[in-house]
Every structure is written in structure tokens, then in C-alpha cells.
Amino acid sequence: MKKQDNPEMHVDLMFPSMYLRAADFEGKPVTLTVREVHRDNLRLANGGKTEKYILSLVETDKMFVLNKTNAKLIAKHLHEPKAINWPGAKITLSPETCEAFGEMVPCIRVKAATR
């Protein structure tokens, strides 16, 4: 294995998180099963807090913090606007790049589940 192929050396993976990040996917989409949708207060980088919706997933201990775009994509792909009905559904999460705060950054997008 070449040094540059070592996923542990990715700067985002050097600092573990309880939440999924684009780097966790190593460039490949992953299909996961929704265990639960809940709200929680997350600490912001500036020390403040914000309330977010979070998905717990069957196949990983890491959680997926929903933004409005991904929540709407899940509802669209599942044909189900009520998040209370999402547990048990399969979704595919894909590492992408998105514009945020005026720059292109790694992000995660929801795709229709691959079978």
C-alpha cells in the first residue's frame, strides 16, 4: 500500500467523530438502514449550540446529521415526508463536494438506495 492510499492519514480521519463525514466513505457510496430519527443539540465551532435532526443507522455507530437538503432528499427517495416513518428504510449516502460559505467543501449527499 502506498502512503497516500492509507485512509488513516486523511486529515479528517485523524480526529475521530461520532458523526459521519465525507472522508468516512473513502470515495464510495454506502447504503445504510435508518434506525431512528431524533433531535439533539450540537455544539458549534464557535461554542454555541444548535438543534439538529440526526439519523442513527443500523450498520454503524456513527450518526448522520441532517441538513435541510438531505432531509428533503430522503423524503423524496422514500416517498415519505414524515421522518417518523423512516426507520427501517435504506438510503445511500455518497461523498460529494458542495459549495458552503463561498468555497467547495466535502459533504455527504443522499441518493436513492442501491439494491
Three-state SS string across the chain, please? CCHHHCHHHCCCCCCCCCECCHHHHCCCCEEEEEEEEEEEEEECCCCCEEEEEEEEECCCCCEEECCHHHHHHHHHHHCCCCHHHCCCCEEEEEEEEEEECCEEEEEEEEECCCC
Tens of pLDDT along the chain (115 residues) come to: 455 555 556 566 677 789 999 988 888 999 999 999 999 999 887 889 999 999 999 999 999 999 999 999 999 999 999 999 999 999 999 999 999 889 999 999 999 876 6
pTM of the model: 0.83
